[in-house]
Amino acid sequence: MVDFFIGAKVFTLAEYSEKNASAHAEQAMKRVFITGASSGLGAALAQSYATQGAVLGLVARRRELLEELAASLPNARQHRIYALDVTDHSALASAAADFIGATGGIDVVIANAGISAGTLTEYAEDLAVFERILATNVTATVATFAPFIATMKQQAQAGSRDCRLVGIASVAGIRGLPGAEAYSASKAAVISYCESLRVELKGAGIKVVTIAPGYIDTPMTQVNTYPMPFLMPASAFADKAMAAIHAGASYRVIPWQMGVVAKLLRLLPNCLYDFAFSRAPHKSRNAKL
Ligand SMILES: NC(=O)c1ccc[n+]([C@@H]2O[C@H](COP(=O)([O-])OP(=O)(O)OC[C@H]3O[C@@H](n4cnc5c(N)ncnc54)[C@H](OP(=O)(O)O)[C@@H]3O)[C@@H](O)[C@H]2O)c1
């Protein structure tokens, strides 16, 4: 075993390489564009990246929350705010162009903006909610990534390290949850879409990372009245997600305990799944989107 001395500490070769790789990743992951940054996971990711010295593009509809967040972050004046609706694809493309122009490139794009509400197919009025959830959670993920890909490819050709496109899916996308027909369908679509894109971009200098959160403590889950196993604080989620993004993981469930549950759920035959989940609690149909 080869040991290295750094200060008073002795490192094994593996520890030294990991430390070096992580320091290199942190140095390089400097320009980060995050949608859904006004609240919850997006705001926590912004905090974690800004603490590491990143310059951020912060996207959401509520400008005042973005301004408050940006003012509270390290390097407050360097971050750029884009108050827009992610279903407005030309506004997203303009924001991407502005961010690339201002920062000289892009390292990480996190398509995190999302909405959740209970939906039931039998109610005609829920069709519009289905469309809104799919537009925000799925189509807007595509529209968030699209304007960055050409720049990422150019950076890779010029010799930069791999950039990251990060899709925020959900454990709810692994099996269809009763009462969450639109949300489960949207997150299953995010998982499959990100996998397609990952394979498509293999070798192009862009890593596509799919993160599937379990239950994380944010305004989205604070309205739930049912028990949420392994509920995790948003700041802890953000640190783990940032590590997975730096590592270029293809797919990561956070927290890991939910990853085990997700694997078991995948293996469960339909008859057992249907029996176990037929009485599962439902998300409210009247959630404000
Ligand atoms: N919390 C969990 O346990 C959990 C679990 C699995 C997956 N997720 C996923 O994680 C992501 C973040 O959720 P969260 O828990 O942080 O929820 P949250 O606190 O409700 O935050 C959602 C964010 O998305 C933004 N957003 C929603 N619709 C938008 C639109 N049309 N245009 C622009 N921004 C929009 C919101 O900003 P504005 O309202 O200001 O626009 C807000 O910043 C979502 O994709 C969610 O599905 C969360």
Residue with token string 């999302």: 114
Rounded Cα distance, 44 and 182, in Å: 26
Q: Are 208 and 250 in contact (CB under 8 A)?
A: yes
What per-residue confidence (pLDDT) applies to 86?
A: 98
Residue 199 has pLDDT above 70, yes or no: yes
Chain segment 45-104, per-residue pLDDT in tens:
999 999 999 999 999 999 999 999 999 999 999 999 999 999 999 999 999 999 999 999
Nearest alpha carbon, ligand 1 atom 1: 216
Q: Are 67 and 43 in contact (CB under 8 A)?
A: no
Residue 121 lies in a domain: yes
CA–centroid distance, 289 to ligand 1, in Å, is: 10
CA–centroid distance, 215 to ligand 1, in Å, is: 13
**Residues with a CB atom less than 6 Å from ligand 1:** 35-42, 60-62, 65, 85-87, 112-116, 136, 168, 170, 213, 215-216, 218-221
Residue 109 lies in a domain: yes
Q: Are 57 and 99 in contact (CB under 8 A)?
A: yes
Residue 287 lies in a domain: no
Residue 78 lies in a domain: yes
Write down how long the chain is.
289
Number of separate domains in the chain: 1
What per-residue confidence (pLDDT) applies to 161?
A: 84
Structure tokens of 122? 């039998």
Rounded Cα distance, 128 and 277, in Å: 26
The CA R_g of the chain, rounded to the nearest whole Å, is 20
What per-residue confidence (pLDDT) applies to 287?
A: 62
Residue 41 lies in a domain: yes
261 CA to centre of own chain: 20
Structure tokens of 220? 């989205």
Residue 189 lies in a domain: yes
Q: Are 69 and 134 in contact (CB under 8 A)?
A: no
Residue 16 has pLDDT above 70, yes or no: no
Q: What are phi and psi of 111, to 5 degrees?
A: -90, 90
Using CB atoms within 10 Å of the CB of residue 225, give its burial: 0 to 12 exposed, 13 to 18 middle, 19+ buried: exposed
Residue 1 has pLDDT above 60, yes or no: no
**Dihedral sign from CA coordinates of 28, 34, 38, 40:** negative
Q: In what order do the strands lie in the sheet with 108-111?
A: 80-83, 55-60, 31-35, 108-111, 163-168, 206-213, 251-254
Q: Which of 49, 82, 123, 183 is catalytic?
A: 183
What per-residue confidence (pLDDT) applies to 288?
A: 61
CA–centroid distance, 163 to ligand 1, in Å, is: 23
CATH number, domain of 255, equals 3.40.50.720
- DSSP secondary-structure letter at 119? B
What per-residue confidence (pLDDT) applies to 115?
A: 97
Lowest pLDDT segment from 8-12, 96-100, 157-161, 232-236: 8-12
Ligand 1: which atom is nearest the Cα of residue 87? Answer: 31
Rounded Cα distance, 250 and 244, in Å: 9
Mean pLDDT of 250-278: 95
Residue 51 lies in a domain: yes
CA–centroid distance, 20 to ligand 1, in Å, is: 33
Chain segment 220-263, per-residue pLDDT in tens:
999 988 899 999 999 999 999 999 999 999 999 999 999 999 99
Residue 165 lies in a domain: yes
- Map residue 147 onto helix, strand or coil: helix
Residue 187 has pLDDT above 70, yes or no: yes
Q: Amino acid letter at 258? A: M
Domain that holds residue 90: 30-277
**Is residue 16 flagged as an active site residue?**
no
